[in-house]
Amino acid sequence: MTAPMTRDARRADTTEARLAAIDLPTGGFTAPARAEALARLGTMGLPARRDEYWRWTDPAKLNAEQPEAGAAFRVDRPIFEGRDKLRLVFEDGVFDAAASDDPVLAGVEIARLSEADRADIHWAKAQYGALEASGQTPVARPFAALNTAAATEGVLIRVTGKAARPLHISYRQSEKTSDVILHHVVRIEEGAELTLLETGTPGARSNVVMEVDVARGARFHHIRPQGRATDRVMVTHLFARVAEDATFKSFTLTTNGKFTRNEAVIEVAGDGATAHIAGAALGDGEDGPFHHDDTVFIDHGAVGCESRQVFKKVLKHGATGVFQGKILVRPGAQKTDGYQISQSLLLDDDSQFLAKPELEIYADDVKCSHGSTTGAIDETALFYLRSRGVPEADAKALLILSFLADAIAEIEDEDLAGDVVARLEDWLARRRG
Protein backbone atom coordinates (compact mmCIF):
# COMPACT_ATOMS: atom_id res chain seq x y z
CA MET A 1 0.00 0.00 0.00
CA THR A 2 1.42 3.36 -0.98
CA ALA A 3 0.96 6.44 1.12
CA PRO A 4 -1.07 9.28 -0.47
CA MET A 5 1.14 11.85 -2.14
CA THR A 6 1.53 15.19 -0.40
CA ARG A 7 0.47 18.30 -2.24
CA ASP A 8 4.04 19.45 -2.71
CA ALA A 9 5.11 16.07 -3.99
CA ARG A 10 2.25 16.09 -6.46
CA ARG A 11 3.25 19.54 -7.65
CA ALA A 12 6.87 18.44 -8.07
CA ASP A 13 5.73 15.38 -9.99
CA THR A 14 3.60 17.46 -12.34
CA THR A 15 6.47 19.85 -12.95
CA GLU A 16 8.95 17.08 -13.56
CA ALA A 17 6.65 15.25 -15.95
CA ARG A 18 5.94 18.44 -17.88
CA LEU A 19 9.65 19.21 -18.22
CA ALA A 20 10.46 15.65 -19.20
CA ALA A 21 8.17 16.03 -22.20
CA ILE A 22 10.14 19.04 -23.46
CA ASP A 23 13.42 18.92 -25.34
CA LEU A 24 15.23 21.65 -23.39
CA PRO A 25 17.69 23.71 -25.45
CA THR A 26 21.34 24.02 -24.44
CA GLY A 27 24.14 26.49 -25.23
CA GLY A 28 23.90 29.93 -26.76
CA PHE A 29 23.76 33.33 -25.09
CA THR A 30 20.53 32.44 -23.32
CA ALA A 31 22.06 29.44 -21.51
CA PRO A 32 22.60 31.16 -18.12
CA ALA A 33 19.12 32.72 -18.19
CA ARG A 34 17.56 29.38 -19.05
CA ALA A 35 19.38 27.62 -16.23
CA GLU A 36 18.13 30.24 -13.78
CA ALA A 37 14.60 29.98 -15.10
CA LEU A 38 14.71 26.23 -14.71
CA ALA A 39 15.86 26.63 -11.12
CA ARG A 40 13.04 29.13 -10.46
CA LEU A 41 10.52 26.74 -11.90
CA GLY A 42 11.92 23.92 -9.79
CA THR A 43 11.43 26.00 -6.66
CA MET A 44 7.94 27.28 -7.39
CA GLY A 45 6.58 24.30 -9.30
CA LEU A 46 3.72 24.40 -11.78
CA PRO A 47 0.49 25.88 -10.41
CA ALA A 48 -2.37 24.02 -8.81
CA ARG A 49 -6.00 24.97 -8.48
CA ARG A 50 -5.55 25.81 -4.80
CA ASP A 51 -3.05 28.59 -5.60
CA GLU A 52 -4.60 31.99 -5.00
CA TYR A 53 -4.26 33.21 -8.59
CA TRP A 54 -5.44 29.93 -10.11
CA ARG A 55 -8.66 29.50 -8.16
CA TRP A 56 -10.83 30.56 -11.08
CA THR A 57 -8.71 29.16 -13.90
CA ASP A 58 -7.78 25.52 -13.88
CA PRO A 59 -4.14 25.12 -15.02
CA ALA A 60 -4.64 21.44 -15.95
CA LYS A 61 -4.57 22.06 -19.71
CA LEU A 62 -1.27 23.89 -19.37
CA ASN A 63 0.20 21.40 -16.91
CA ALA A 64 -0.57 18.39 -19.09
CA GLU A 65 2.47 16.77 -20.69
CA GLN A 66 0.87 16.88 -24.11
CA PRO A 67 -1.63 19.33 -25.57
CA GLU A 68 -5.18 18.31 -26.36
CA ALA A 69 -5.68 18.05 -30.08
CA GLY A 70 -7.31 21.23 -31.31
CA ALA A 71 -8.63 22.08 -34.73
CA ALA A 72 -6.85 24.99 -36.37
CA PHE A 73 -8.92 28.00 -37.39
CA ARG A 74 -8.89 28.51 -41.12
CA VAL A 75 -7.92 32.15 -41.52
CA ASP A 76 -10.18 33.52 -44.22
CA ARG A 77 -9.63 37.24 -43.96
CA PRO A 78 -6.52 38.09 -41.95
CA ILE A 79 -6.78 41.22 -39.84
CA PHE A 80 -4.63 44.28 -40.72
CA GLU A 81 -4.40 42.98 -44.29
CA GLY A 82 -3.62 45.87 -46.59
CA ARG A 83 -1.87 47.94 -43.91
CA ASP A 84 1.72 48.83 -44.60
CA LYS A 85 3.73 46.66 -42.20
CA LEU A 86 6.63 44.26 -41.93
CA ARG A 87 5.31 40.78 -41.42
CA LEU A 88 6.98 37.79 -39.79
CA VAL A 89 4.99 34.57 -39.99
CA PHE A 90 5.21 31.62 -37.64
CA GLU A 91 3.28 28.46 -38.40
CA ASP A 92 2.94 26.08 -35.46
CA GLY A 93 5.78 28.06 -33.92
CA VAL A 94 8.10 27.55 -36.89
CA PHE A 95 9.26 30.57 -38.85
CA ASP A 96 7.85 30.65 -42.37
CA ALA A 97 10.39 32.60 -44.41
CA ALA A 98 8.42 32.34 -47.63
CA ALA A 99 5.35 33.95 -46.10
CA SER A 100 7.37 36.61 -44.28
CA ASP A 101 8.75 39.94 -45.40
CA ASP A 102 12.43 40.70 -45.57
CA PRO A 103 13.22 41.73 -41.98
CA VAL A 104 14.65 45.09 -42.95
CA LEU A 105 13.21 48.18 -41.32
CA ALA A 106 15.12 51.41 -40.70
CA GLY A 107 15.82 51.94 -37.01
CA VAL A 108 14.86 48.39 -36.10
CA GLU A 109 17.10 45.34 -35.60
CA ILE A 110 15.19 42.13 -36.04
CA ALA A 111 16.58 38.69 -35.29
CA ARG A 112 15.10 35.32 -34.53
CA LEU A 113 15.94 33.59 -31.29
CA SER A 114 16.66 30.29 -33.06
CA GLU A 115 19.38 31.91 -35.14
CA ALA A 116 20.75 34.46 -32.69
CA ASP A 117 21.04 31.92 -29.92
CA ARG A 118 23.87 30.16 -31.77
CA ALA A 119 26.10 33.05 -30.73
CA ASP A 120 27.41 33.63 -27.22
CA ILE A 121 27.04 37.40 -27.35
CA HIS A 122 23.95 39.34 -28.27
CA TRP A 123 22.31 42.60 -27.18
CA ALA A 124 19.40 40.56 -25.85
CA LYS A 125 21.63 38.59 -23.51
CA ALA A 126 21.07 40.94 -20.57
CA GLN A 127 17.37 41.07 -21.21
CA TYR A 128 16.36 37.51 -22.05
CA GLY A 129 14.51 36.27 -18.97
CA ALA A 130 15.36 39.34 -16.88
CA LEU A 131 11.91 40.96 -16.73
CA GLU A 132 10.35 37.53 -16.43
CA ALA A 133 12.58 36.86 -13.39
CA SER A 134 11.72 40.14 -11.69
CA GLY A 135 8.04 39.57 -12.51
CA GLN A 136 8.00 36.39 -10.38
CA THR A 137 7.46 38.34 -7.17
CA PRO A 138 5.19 38.84 -5.39
CA VAL A 139 3.19 36.30 -7.41
CA ALA A 140 4.75 33.27 -9.07
CA ARG A 141 4.24 32.87 -12.82
CA PRO A 142 5.48 29.35 -13.43
CA PHE A 143 4.52 29.12 -17.11
CA ALA A 144 6.63 32.17 -17.84
CA ALA A 145 9.65 30.55 -16.17
CA LEU A 146 8.93 27.38 -18.13
CA ASN A 147 8.85 29.47 -21.28
CA THR A 148 12.21 31.14 -20.60
CA ALA A 149 13.76 27.76 -19.95
CA ALA A 150 12.26 25.99 -22.94
CA ALA A 151 11.67 28.50 -25.77
CA THR A 152 13.69 27.91 -28.90
CA GLU A 153 12.02 30.48 -31.09
CA GLY A 154 10.87 34.07 -30.86
CA VAL A 155 11.74 37.49 -32.20
CA LEU A 156 14.43 39.74 -30.79
CA ILE A 157 13.61 43.34 -31.63
CA ARG A 158 15.76 46.33 -30.86
CA VAL A 159 14.41 49.71 -31.92
CA THR A 160 16.75 52.67 -32.15
CA GLY A 161 14.62 55.07 -34.17
CA LYS A 162 11.04 55.76 -35.04
CA ALA A 163 9.90 52.71 -36.98
CA ALA A 164 8.24 53.89 -40.17
CA ARG A 165 5.75 51.04 -40.18
CA PRO A 166 4.45 48.49 -37.71
CA LEU A 167 6.16 45.17 -37.18
CA HIS A 168 3.70 42.31 -37.46
CA ILE A 169 4.21 38.94 -35.81
CA SER A 170 1.61 36.70 -37.42
CA TYR A 171 0.83 33.27 -35.98
CA ARG A 172 -0.78 30.41 -37.82
CA GLN A 173 -1.68 26.94 -36.73
CA SER A 174 -1.99 23.95 -39.04
CA GLU A 175 -1.07 20.99 -36.83
CA LYS A 176 -3.77 19.73 -34.49
CA THR A 177 -1.35 18.93 -31.70
CA SER A 178 1.32 21.62 -32.00
CA ASP A 179 2.70 22.68 -28.63
CA VAL A 180 4.28 26.06 -29.21
CA ILE A 181 6.59 28.00 -26.91
CA LEU A 182 7.72 31.41 -28.14
CA HIS A 183 9.76 34.01 -26.33
CA HIS A 184 10.08 37.54 -27.71
CA VAL A 185 12.42 40.21 -26.45
CA VAL A 186 11.80 43.85 -27.32
CA ARG A 187 13.98 46.79 -26.47
CA ILE A 188 12.91 50.30 -27.42
CA GLU A 189 15.92 52.56 -27.00
CA GLU A 190 15.73 56.13 -25.79
CA GLY A 191 13.26 58.21 -27.79
CA ALA A 192 12.52 55.38 -30.23
CA GLU A 193 9.06 54.20 -31.25
CA LEU A 194 7.48 50.97 -32.42
CA THR A 195 4.02 49.65 -33.10
CA LEU A 196 3.92 45.88 -32.80
CA LEU A 197 1.04 43.84 -34.15
CA GLU A 198 0.74 40.30 -32.83
CA THR A 199 -2.02 38.28 -34.42
CA GLY A 200 -3.44 34.80 -34.49
CA THR A 201 -3.09 31.56 -32.59
CA PRO A 202 0.43 30.05 -32.54
CA GLY A 203 -0.52 26.41 -31.96
CA ALA A 204 -2.96 23.94 -30.50
CA ARG A 205 -1.40 24.86 -27.17
CA SER A 206 0.64 28.03 -26.95
CA ASN A 207 2.84 29.63 -24.35
CA VAL A 208 4.07 33.06 -25.42
CA VAL A 209 6.25 35.41 -23.38
CA MET A 210 7.12 38.92 -24.46
CA GLU A 211 9.56 41.02 -22.51
CA VAL A 212 9.50 44.69 -23.38
CA ASP A 213 11.97 47.24 -22.10
CA VAL A 214 10.88 50.78 -22.99
CA ALA A 215 13.74 53.22 -22.41
CA ARG A 216 13.49 56.90 -21.56
CA GLY A 217 11.07 58.88 -23.70
CA ALA A 218 10.42 55.87 -25.94
CA ARG A 219 7.01 54.64 -27.08
CA PHE A 220 5.75 51.12 -27.54
CA HIS A 221 2.35 50.34 -28.92
CA HIS A 222 1.14 46.74 -28.97
CA ILE A 223 -2.04 45.49 -30.63
CA ARG A 224 -2.83 41.82 -30.23
CA PRO A 225 -5.88 40.17 -31.80
CA GLN A 226 -5.48 36.59 -30.63
CA GLY A 227 -7.30 34.85 -33.44
CA ARG A 228 -10.67 33.17 -33.61
CA ALA A 229 -9.77 29.52 -32.95
CA THR A 230 -12.39 28.00 -30.65
CA ASP A 231 -9.99 25.21 -29.63
CA ARG A 232 -7.26 27.64 -28.59
CA VAL A 233 -5.40 26.81 -25.37
CA MET A 234 -3.04 29.66 -24.67
CA VAL A 235 -1.13 31.33 -21.90
CA THR A 236 0.66 34.59 -22.53
CA HIS A 237 2.85 36.78 -20.35
CA LEU A 238 3.66 40.34 -21.16
CA PHE A 239 6.47 41.70 -19.02
CA ALA A 240 7.29 45.36 -19.41
CA ARG A 241 9.49 47.94 -17.82
CA VAL A 242 8.64 51.53 -18.63
CA ALA A 243 11.34 54.14 -18.03
CA GLU A 244 11.18 57.90 -17.48
CA ASP A 245 8.67 59.69 -19.71
CA ALA A 246 8.21 56.54 -21.74
CA THR A 247 4.88 55.18 -22.95
CA PHE A 248 3.69 51.61 -23.09
CA LYS A 249 0.29 50.76 -24.55
CA SER A 250 -1.09 47.32 -25.17
CA PHE A 251 -4.50 46.21 -26.43
CA THR A 252 -5.67 42.62 -26.78
CA LEU A 253 -8.73 41.35 -28.62
CA THR A 254 -9.84 37.83 -27.81
CA THR A 255 -12.68 36.19 -29.68
CA ASN A 256 -13.43 32.54 -28.93
CA GLY A 257 -10.95 30.15 -27.32
CA LYS A 258 -11.60 27.39 -24.81
CA PHE A 259 -8.73 28.51 -22.61
CA THR A 260 -6.85 31.81 -22.67
CA ARG A 261 -4.88 33.27 -19.80
CA ASN A 262 -3.22 36.60 -20.51
CA GLU A 263 -0.93 37.83 -17.79
CA ALA A 264 0.77 41.19 -17.75
CA VAL A 265 3.36 42.50 -15.33
CA ILE A 266 4.25 46.11 -15.89
CA GLU A 267 6.88 47.93 -13.95
CA VAL A 268 6.21 51.65 -14.15
CA ALA A 269 9.78 52.41 -13.27
CA GLY A 270 10.74 55.92 -14.40
CA ASP A 271 9.27 59.27 -13.38
CA GLY A 272 6.53 60.50 -15.71
CA ALA A 273 6.01 57.10 -17.35
CA THR A 274 2.69 56.00 -18.85
CA ALA A 275 1.39 52.44 -19.05
CA HIS A 276 -1.96 51.51 -20.53
CA ILE A 277 -3.22 47.98 -20.92
CA ALA A 278 -6.60 47.06 -22.32
CA GLY A 279 -8.48 43.98 -23.40
CA ALA A 280 -11.73 43.09 -25.08
CA ALA A 281 -12.79 39.46 -24.89
CA LEU A 282 -15.87 37.93 -26.46
CA GLY A 283 -17.03 34.39 -25.98
CA ASP A 284 -20.16 32.52 -26.96
CA GLY A 285 -20.44 29.04 -25.47
CA GLU A 286 -22.50 27.94 -28.44
CA ASP A 287 -19.32 28.00 -30.56
CA GLY A 288 -17.50 25.88 -27.98
CA PRO A 289 -16.36 26.31 -24.38
CA PHE A 290 -14.94 29.74 -23.58
CA HIS A 291 -12.72 30.60 -20.66
CA HIS A 292 -10.79 33.84 -20.63
CA ASP A 293 -8.58 35.14 -17.84
CA ASP A 294 -6.79 38.48 -17.60
CA THR A 295 -4.33 38.66 -14.74
CA VAL A 296 -2.57 42.01 -14.49
CA PHE A 297 -0.04 43.47 -12.10
CA ILE A 298 0.96 47.12 -12.35
CA ASP A 299 3.89 48.07 -10.18
CA HIS A 300 4.35 51.80 -9.61
CA GLY A 301 7.83 52.63 -8.40
CA ALA A 302 8.36 56.20 -9.63
CA VAL A 303 6.91 59.69 -9.32
CA GLY A 304 4.18 61.23 -11.47
CA CYS A 305 3.28 58.14 -13.48
CA GLU A 306 -0.01 57.12 -15.00
CA SER A 307 -1.38 53.64 -15.45
CA ARG A 308 -4.68 52.59 -16.93
CA GLN A 309 -6.27 49.15 -17.15
CA VAL A 310 -9.44 48.73 -19.18
CA PHE A 311 -10.80 45.20 -19.49
CA LYS A 312 -14.15 44.32 -21.03
CA LYS A 313 -15.76 40.96 -21.54
CA VAL A 314 -18.84 39.94 -23.46
CA LEU A 315 -20.07 36.53 -22.38
CA LYS A 316 -22.84 34.24 -23.58
CA HIS A 317 -23.99 30.62 -23.30
CA GLY A 318 -21.91 29.50 -20.36
CA ALA A 319 -18.79 31.51 -21.16
CA THR A 320 -16.52 32.41 -18.26
CA GLY A 321 -14.50 35.58 -17.81
CA VAL A 322 -11.91 36.17 -15.11
CA PHE A 323 -10.15 39.38 -14.18
CA GLN A 324 -7.45 39.62 -11.52
CA GLY A 325 -5.89 43.05 -11.51
CA LYS A 326 -3.61 44.66 -9.01
CA ILE A 327 -2.10 48.10 -8.69
CA LEU A 328 0.85 48.37 -6.35
CA VAL A 329 2.10 51.84 -5.45
CA ARG A 330 5.48 51.58 -3.75
CA PRO A 331 6.69 53.98 -1.07
CA GLY A 332 7.77 57.22 -2.72
CA ALA A 333 5.75 56.70 -5.90
CA GLN A 334 3.95 59.99 -5.31
CA LYS A 335 1.55 61.65 -7.75
CA THR A 336 0.67 58.24 -9.15
CA ASP A 337 -2.50 58.20 -11.21
CA GLY A 338 -3.71 54.61 -11.34
CA TYR A 339 -6.97 53.58 -12.93
CA GLN A 340 -8.50 50.17 -13.33
CA ILE A 341 -11.87 49.12 -14.69
CA SER A 342 -13.07 45.61 -15.40
CA GLN A 343 -16.53 45.08 -16.77
CA SER A 344 -18.55 42.29 -18.18
CA LEU A 345 -21.63 42.24 -20.30
CA LEU A 346 -23.53 39.03 -19.71
CA LEU A 347 -25.83 38.28 -22.62
CA ASP A 348 -27.68 35.58 -20.71
CA ASP A 349 -27.96 34.04 -17.26
CA ASP A 350 -25.64 31.11 -17.96
CA SER A 351 -22.37 33.01 -18.19
CA GLN A 352 -20.18 34.18 -15.37
CA PHE A 353 -17.65 36.88 -14.64
CA LEU A 354 -15.25 36.60 -11.73
CA ALA A 355 -13.27 39.66 -10.76
CA LYS A 356 -10.66 40.41 -8.15
CA PRO A 357 -9.48 44.00 -8.23
CA GLU A 358 -6.70 44.84 -5.78
CA LEU A 359 -5.05 48.06 -4.68
CA GLU A 360 -1.97 48.18 -2.49
CA ILE A 361 -0.76 51.71 -1.81
CA TYR A 362 2.25 52.81 0.21
CA ALA A 363 2.43 56.47 -0.87
CA ASP A 364 0.13 59.19 0.42
CA ASP A 365 -0.18 61.58 -2.52
CA VAL A 366 -1.74 59.34 -5.16
CA LYS A 367 -4.94 59.05 -7.14
CA CYS A 368 -6.00 55.46 -7.65
CA SER A 369 -9.38 54.08 -8.55
CA HIS A 370 -10.77 50.74 -9.50
CA GLY A 371 -14.18 49.52 -10.45
CA SER A 372 -15.77 46.31 -11.58
CA THR A 373 -19.25 45.83 -12.97
CA THR A 374 -21.39 43.05 -14.37
CA GLY A 375 -24.46 43.89 -16.35
CA ALA A 376 -26.84 43.00 -19.10
CA ILE A 377 -27.75 44.89 -22.27
CA ASP A 378 -29.43 48.17 -21.34
CA GLU A 379 -33.10 47.66 -22.26
CA THR A 380 -33.79 51.39 -22.56
CA ALA A 381 -30.92 51.88 -25.00
CA LEU A 382 -32.03 48.79 -26.92
CA PHE A 383 -35.55 50.19 -27.23
CA TYR A 384 -34.19 53.57 -28.28
CA LEU A 385 -32.24 52.02 -31.16
CA ARG A 386 -35.12 49.76 -32.20
CA SER A 387 -37.55 52.69 -32.14
CA ARG A 388 -35.28 54.28 -34.77
CA GLY A 389 -35.75 51.26 -37.00
CA VAL A 390 -32.61 49.32 -36.11
CA PRO A 391 -33.48 45.58 -35.94
CA GLU A 392 -32.96 43.98 -32.54
CA ALA A 393 -29.89 41.93 -33.45
CA ASP A 394 -28.16 44.94 -35.04
CA ALA A 395 -29.11 47.11 -32.08
CA LYS A 396 -27.57 44.58 -29.70
CA ALA A 397 -24.40 44.46 -31.78
CA LEU A 398 -24.17 48.26 -31.65
CA LEU A 399 -24.61 48.23 -27.89
CA ILE A 400 -21.90 45.57 -27.53
CA LEU A 401 -19.53 47.78 -29.53
CA SER A 402 -20.59 50.67 -27.34
CA PHE A 403 -19.70 48.60 -24.27
CA LEU A 404 -16.26 47.79 -25.70
CA ALA A 405 -15.51 51.31 -26.88
CA ASP A 406 -13.37 52.37 -23.90
CA ALA A 407 -11.05 49.42 -24.41
CA ILE A 408 -10.80 49.95 -28.18
CA ALA A 409 -10.06 53.63 -27.55
CA GLU A 410 -6.69 52.50 -26.20
CA ILE A 411 -5.61 51.79 -29.78
CA GLU A 412 -4.07 55.06 -30.88
CA ASP A 413 -3.94 54.47 -34.62
CA GLU A 414 -7.37 55.10 -36.15
CA ASP A 415 -6.91 52.72 -39.07
CA LEU A 416 -5.79 49.87 -36.86
CA ALA A 417 -8.63 50.58 -34.43
CA GLY A 418 -10.98 50.49 -37.42
CA ASP A 419 -9.63 47.06 -38.38
CA VAL A 420 -10.28 45.80 -34.86
CA VAL A 421 -13.83 47.18 -34.92
CA ALA A 422 -14.41 45.54 -38.30
CA ARG A 423 -13.22 42.24 -36.84
CA LEU A 424 -15.63 42.67 -33.94
CA GLU A 425 -18.51 43.52 -36.26
CA ASP A 426 -17.70 40.43 -38.25
CA TRP A 427 -17.71 38.28 -35.10
CA LEU A 428 -21.02 39.77 -34.01
CA ALA A 429 -22.57 39.36 -37.47
CA ARG A 430 -21.76 35.64 -37.57
CA ARG A 431 -23.77 35.24 -34.43
CA ARG A 432 -26.88 36.79 -35.91
CA GLY A 433 -27.52 33.90 -38.26
Partner 1 sequence: MLEIKNLHVELEEEGKPILKGVNLTVEAGKVHAIMGPNGSGKSTLSYVLSGRDGYAVTEGSATLDGEELLEMEPEERAAAGLFLAFQYPVEIPGVGNMTFLRTAVNAQRKARGEEELSAGEFLKVVREKAKTLKIDAEMLKRPVNVGFSGGEKKRNEILQMAMLEPRMCILDETDSGLDVDAMKLVAEGVNALRDPGRAFLVITHYQRLLDHIKPDVVHIMADGRIVKTGGPELALEVERNGYADILAEIA
Q: Using CB under 8 A, list all residues that contact partner 1.
A: 378-381, 383-392, 394-395, 398-399, 401-406, 408-409
d(CA 214, CA 202): 25
**What phi, psi does 10 have (nearest 5°)?**
-65, -40
Beta carbon nearer to partner 1, 144 or 420: 420
Cα angle 204-208-212, degrees, rounded to a multiple of 5: 160
Beta carbon nearer to partner 1, 175 or 394: 394
Whole-number minimum distance, CB 428 to partner 1, in Å? Answer: 13
**What phi, psi does 225 have (nearest 5°)?**
-80, 120
d(CA 14, CA 21): 11
Whole-number minimum distance, CB 290 to partner 1, in Å? Answer: 23
Beta carbon nearer to partner 1, 124 or 253: 253
d(CA 180, CA 174): 12
Buried b (16+ CB within 10 A) or exposed e, 296-316: bbbbbbbbebbbbbbbbbbbb
Beta carbon nearer to partner 1, 96 or 378: 378
Whole-number minimum distance, CB 405 to partner 1, in Å? Answer: 2
Q: Is 419 in a helix, a strand, or coil?
A: helix
Helices (H), 4-88: 7-20, 31-44, 60-63
Q: 394's torsion region: left (phi>0), alpha (psi -120 to 50) or beta?
A: alpha
Beta carbon nearer to partner 1, 358 or 392: 392
Whole-number minimum distance, CB 349 to partner 1, in Å? Answer: 17
Nearest to 306 by CA among 368, 361, 357: 368
* β-strands 306-316, 274-284 pairing: parallel
Whole-number minimum distance, CB 341 to partner 1, in Å? Answer: 13
Q: 233's torsion region: left (phi>0), alpha (psi -120 to 50) or beta?
A: beta
Whole-number minimum distance, CB 188 to partner 1, in Å? Answer: 30
Cα angle 143-145-146, degrees, rounded to a multiple of 5: 60
Beta carbon nearer to partner 1, 110 or 401: 401
d(CA 161, CA 283): 39
Beta carbon nearer to partner 1, 71 or 429: 429
Beta carbon nearer to partner 1, 362 or 384: 384
Whole-number minimum distance, CB 416 to partner 1, in Å? Answer: 17
